Structure 1
Amino acid sequence: MPKLLPFPVLFTGLVVGLLLLITSQFVTSMKHLDKVINKSSHSSDKVRVALLLEGPTYDQGWNSSALESMTELQKRFNFSLEIANNIKPEQITKVAEKYAANDYDLILGHGLIFSDPFTDVALRYPKSHFVSFNGEAPHPNQTTIRYDMKPAGKLVGILAAKMTKSDKVGYIMVDKPTEILQVEGFIEGVKKESPKTSIVVGKVPDFNDIEGAIHTTRDMISQGVDVIYTTGDSFNLEVITEAQRAGVFTIGYIADQRYIAPDYVLASMTQDVRQCYRIIMEQFIQGDLPNGKVMYGLAEGVNQLSQFGHMVPDDVREDLERELQNLIPSRGSYGG
């Protein structure tokens, strides 16, 4: 018969065993907590976001769309949001520095004007991430969003070529480098659909040159152009109205502009600012926002062809839908 151990020995062994078990569970818990605290995703923290606007928040256009988008996304992602609007070019660096110095995680500049100042500030505040539009982004904590407009322009060019009766179509552009790719896409689309169709490209110096845009419209109409794609958000109302008076079709831009002339606006190439910011915030919260240049376009739903006007035949609509599906897989890289 085996010899029984004294009770104090058994008790001591039991206590030591329990202590070892508790210690092991504590170490495991601490390792798990460390992983949660130090993971790259921002989902467990209250992310601090600043939105910088060069204009007013009530313009019913570019700036107000950004504010509305971010306010809507704030409810979904539960981040804190600070707005700075009507910022002059010479103020951007100081404003961006203020937010970066106060440990804001994400600083958004809604436009090209923010790109260069952000490049300067980002180098000194590596813990903040800076996002702007249509500029450069040389630093690891910097992203610039570019609209991939060449495929969009090609789709519109095909529509214009299908709807012209005079075999003459027009394109009114703002004379800026960022507009060139869409013009090239438009020309490709027209020539793909109808090689015999001629293209008249009219340039105005800036987005607010309403008189210049009206003059360009009249000049195109006098040359026999019967479909005009107008890409100046600020002067599209006047261009569409002028074309309507002459019985000329137009294609709108940025917003769905069929309401301006329901019998003459064939469709609009829209830019969904909400979708753009939705992608940015989803990627940032998940820790997946790329640095460098990022292209958003048809594939991401940021560029969209609106519903067609009643004058566009069903077969043309079906052809455009097929062309859209062909264009989407041709998308390139999204960052770096």
Structure 2
Amino acid sequence: MWTRFGLVLFCLLLLSGCGHSFHSGKIQKVGLLVPETINDQVWGTKGYRGLLKIQSRFNADVFYKESMDSVTEVEQAVEEFQQKGVNLIFGHGNEYAEYFNRLSEKYPEIHFVSFNGDAKKKNTTSLNFEAYSMGFFGGMVAGHMTKTGKVSILAAYEWQPEIEGFYEGAIFQNKNVEVDIRYVGHWDHDQRAIEIFDEAVNEGADVIYPAGDGYNVPIIERTKEKGLYVIGYISDQSDLGESTVLTSTVQHVDELYELAAERFDAGNLDSGNLSFDFQDGVITLGKFSPKVDPEFRKALNKQIKEYKKTGRLPNQ
């Protein structure tokens, strides 16, 4: 899951120091393991779309398995994929890094790719999103748009780097804003998320950042009912209500899948932990609501462009 957005080892993708090259040759067949479902319209769906992009781009047979959330299930799935001739497997979450580290030596002909984990073997790679920066720019939008002076983050877990980024961005944009952080304690506890949403709104919050891919859609719907604002999470969620969703902090997981497959097919997908950010085109802000004034949008886009060029956020 959104471990998915865990603490990462920062290293530039193109530097050889990021890991050891694992020259395995061309893509044969590709497998995908997801911890829950490909039909959640957020994280799992994006992984599946990435798999389909690989299928189309490389004319490769692809396979996927859902609800892969235990050692036994993952071991059985990898064995099944190996028998089918799969030589590139994506595990759609950070939990798969540990599984793949254990299994990789048994299957040296397969390259294992996880997300936001710690890949330790020569045929394992972890793709890590630099989530702090997306949170920072999303927080700037919240700080600019709040009318009550109070913004609330509904985080899944305390360690999410986008949470700290959002907080810092909101404060940078509006020194008088109060940023309230509350924790759901899970990626998918809709009811708990709604309960703390109601608490936050009752205490005056008018811009909400639901930073959990399993509960952000119900929170957006509830925000819409209240006539308040929200910053979308993971996907561009403007289609859920352009007057409600000010923008979204978007991670283009599907494009990162394709990028990793391209490098693997060329024999230069590094092992170890690789980091990706705005500069790589796989993190962006989503479509802006017409509620966000054009002058602010223009200024923010300029700051994002400068960040992509220099690697320095506006407060640095």
- Percent of pairs identical after alignment? 28
Structure 1: how far apart are the matches of 2:189 and 2:222? 15
1:88 CA displacement? 4.1
Tell me, yes or no, if structure 1 residue 109 matches structure 2 residue 94.
no
Q: Which runs of 5+ in 1 are unaligned?
A: 1-39
Partner of 1:317: 297
Tell me, yes or no, if structure 1 residue 69 matches structure 2 residue 61.
no
Contact 2:27–2:265 at 8 Å: present in 1 too?
Answer: no
- When Rg is computed on C-alpha atoms for both structures, the one with the higher figure is 1
1:157 CA displacement? 1.0
Contact 2:247–2:286 at 8 Å: present in 1 too?
Answer: yes
Q: CA RMSD in A?
A: 2.2
**In the alignment, which of 122, 125, 134 is matched to residue 152 of structure 1?**
134
Contact 2:158–2:183 at 8 Å: present in 1 too?
Answer: no
Structure richer in helix, relative to its length: 1
1:191 CA displacement? 2.0
* Number of aligned positions between the proteins: 289
The alignment partner of 2:196 has SS state of helix
The alignment partner of 1:278 has SS state of helix
Partner of 1:198: 178
1:163 CA displacement? 0.9
Instruction: Give 2:306's aligned amino acid.
Output: N
Instruction: Give 2:185's aligned amino acid.
Output: P
Q: 1:275 to 1:331 in 2, by over 3 A?
A: farther
Partner of 2:108: 126
Partner of 1:55: 36
Structure of greater relative contact order (alpha carbons < 8 Å, 6+ residues apart): 2
Where has structure 1 moved over 6 Å in runs of 4 or more?
A: none
1:100 CA displacement? 4.3
How does the TM-score come out when normalised to structure 2?
0.84
Tell me, yes or no, if structure 1 residue 291 matches structure 2 residue 267.
no
How does the TM-score come out when normalised to structure 1?
0.79
The alignment partner of 2:127 has SS state of strand
Structure 1: how far apart are the matches of 2:54 and 2:92? 16
Structure 1: how far apart are the matches of 2:92 and 2:296? 36
Contact 1:151–1:327 at 8 Å: present in 2 too?
Answer: no
Contact 1:96–1:118 at 8 Å: present in 2 too?
Answer: no
Instruction: Give 1:84's aligned amino acid.
Output: K
Contact 1:46–1:78 at 8 Å: present in 2 too?
Answer: no
Q: Deviations over 1:147-206 (max 9, x none)?
A: 1100001101111111112222111100253x1x11111122122222221110111011
Q: 1:202 to 1:330 in 2, by over 3 A?
A: farther
List aligned pairs for 1:1-336, cutoff 5 A.
Answer: 40=23, 42=25, 45=26, 47-89=28-70, 90-100=72-82, 104-175=86-157, 177=159, 179=160, 181-329=161-309, 331=311
1:262 CA displacement? 2.6
Contact 2:113–2:125 at 8 Å: present in 1 too?
Answer: yes
Q: Deviations over 1:32-60 (max 9, x none)?
A: xxxxxxxx573xx5523222233344444
Q: Which runs of 5+ in 2 are unaligned?
A: 1-22
Structure 1: how far apart are the matches of 2:308 and 2:90? 27
1:104 CA displacement? 3.3
